[in-house]
Amino acid sequence: MSENLTSPEADVQPGRDRREPMFPGGPAADPAGSHHERRIRSFQPRRSRVTTGQGDALRRLWSRWGLDIDGLRPLDLGELFGDPNLPVVLEIGFGMGEATAQMAAADPGTGILACDVHTPGQGNLLGLAERNGLNNVRVANGDAIILLREMLAPDSLAGIRVYFPDPWPKARHHKRRLIQPEFLALAATRLAPGALLHCATDWEPYAEQMLEVLTASPDFENTHPDGGFAPRPEFRPLTRFEGQGLDKGHVVHDLLFRRKAS
């Protein structure tokens, strides 16, 4: 299975207010609250426990490097990263954050706004950022669609990365797949002209759908000369999850599309 975004409800304990942080000063359980209750979520709920180290990182570092996606205010990326000239890439769904940390370490001149709702992964990435001195990582808790639509300014992103999103293999669930024409239209408004949208998946039918909708989008152009899938670029690390899939004979497809100039 692919690495999944997970629902905020997965971490809510019985009787707990869904917007109340699980950790003092940490991420909210459901930052968007009731005003976004009816939205279709493109991530799969699953439960897992937060380790002592992850919880400690959430308590200590969230106020410095974390933010809740509440859809109530615009986000100033220059202020968030402490550098108005820093190019910022949005990563949607980062699992436990190992690959994110590797990319941040390899490219300190780029900010990574890493979005997920999996509390253990948030804590793990914050801990990795602290241990490795990665000042160019920020962790966003909540729905990436709300972040893009309601909190980010037009042309503000230097790139968007979507690695191994939930494939939603059943036909009746295909509407929940993230890479759809509506998402691409929204993403294009937040990407700067020439910025890259980079997707990767090990699910063949989803890869074909990604290629189809990206190719049909009037806002993007394929960077691969033959118009198909691209080889894995050096800046995307080979993750442990991906290595396990390759050992099982899975084929991973990368798609690198550039936002067209207006």
* Maximum mean pLDDT: which of 24-28, 39-43, 171-175, 203-207: 203-207
At residue 233, what is the residue type?
P
pLDDT of res. 2: 40
Residue 159 lies in a domain: yes
Residue 106 lies in a domain: yes
What percent of the chain stands above pLDDT 70? 85
Higher pLDDT, 74 or 243: 74
Distance of CA 195 to the CA centre of its chain: 16
Range of the domain at 71: 8-259
Residue 118 lies in a domain: yes
What percent of the chain stands above pLDDT 90? 73
| Residue 110, both tokens | 């780029």
Q: If phi over 0 gives left and psi between -120 and 50 gives alpha, with beta otherwise, what is residue 142?
A: left
pLDDT of res. 47: 52
Q: What is the pLDDT of residues 57-74, one digit of tens each?
A: 999 999 999 999 999 999
Contact between 122 and 116 under an 8 Å Cβ cutoff? The reply is: yes
pLDDT of res. 1: 39
| Residue 119 labelled as part of a binding site | no
| Residue 102, both tokens | 């590797």
Q: What is the pLDDT of residues 245-256, one digit of tens each?
A: 888 888 999 999
Backbone angles phi, psi at 153, to 5 degrees: -80, 155
Compute the average pLDDT of residues 26-47. Answer: 61
| Residue 143 labelled as part of a binding site | yes
Compute the average pLDDT of residues 199-205. Answer: 94
Residue 2 lies in a domain: no
| Residue 223 labelled as part of a binding site | no
Residue 185 lies in a domain: yes
What ranges in the chain are assigned the alpha helix state H? 52-65, 77-81, 98-106, 119-131, 144-146, 181-190, 204-216, 240-247
CATH number for the domain harbouring residue 165:
3.40.50.150
| Residue 170 labelled as part of a binding site | yes
Higher pLDDT, 159 or 24: 159
Q: Compute the distance between CA of residue 138 and CA of residue 122 in angstroms, rounded to an integer.
A: 10
Catalytic residue set:
166
| Residue 100, both tokens | 């994110």
Q: What is the pLDDT of residues 104-149, one digit of tens each?
A: 999 999 999 999 999 999 999 999 999 999 999 999 999 999 999 9
Mean pLDDT of the chain: 87
Backbone angles phi, psi at 44, to 5 degrees: -100, 120
Q: How confident is the model at residue 169 (pLDDT cuts 50, 70, 90)?
A: confident
| Residue 239 labelled as part of a binding site | yes
pLDDT of res. 236: 96
Contact between 255 and 262 under an 8 Å Cβ cutoff? The reply is: no
pLDDT of res. 159: 98
Residue 250 lies in a domain: yes
Q: Compute the distance between CA of residue 205 and CA of residue 190 in angstroms, rounded to an integer.
A: 27
Compute the average pLDDT of residues 76-81. Answer: 98
Q: How confident is the model at residue 168 (pLDDT cuts 50, 70, 90)?
A: confident
pLDDT of res. 9: 36
Residue 218 lies in a domain: yes
Say which residues have a Cβ less than 8 Å from residue 34's Cβ, sequence separation at least 6.
none
Burial bucket for residue 150 (CB in 10 Å: 0-12, 13-18, 19+): middle
Q: How confident is the model at residue 94 (pLDDT cuts 50, 70, 90)?
A: very high
Residue 1 lies in a domain: no
Total of domains in the chain: 1
Say which residues have a Cβ less than 8 Å from residue 188's Cβ, sequence separation at least 6.
217, 219, 220, 259
Element (H, E) at 259: strand 253-259
pLDDT of res. 86: 98
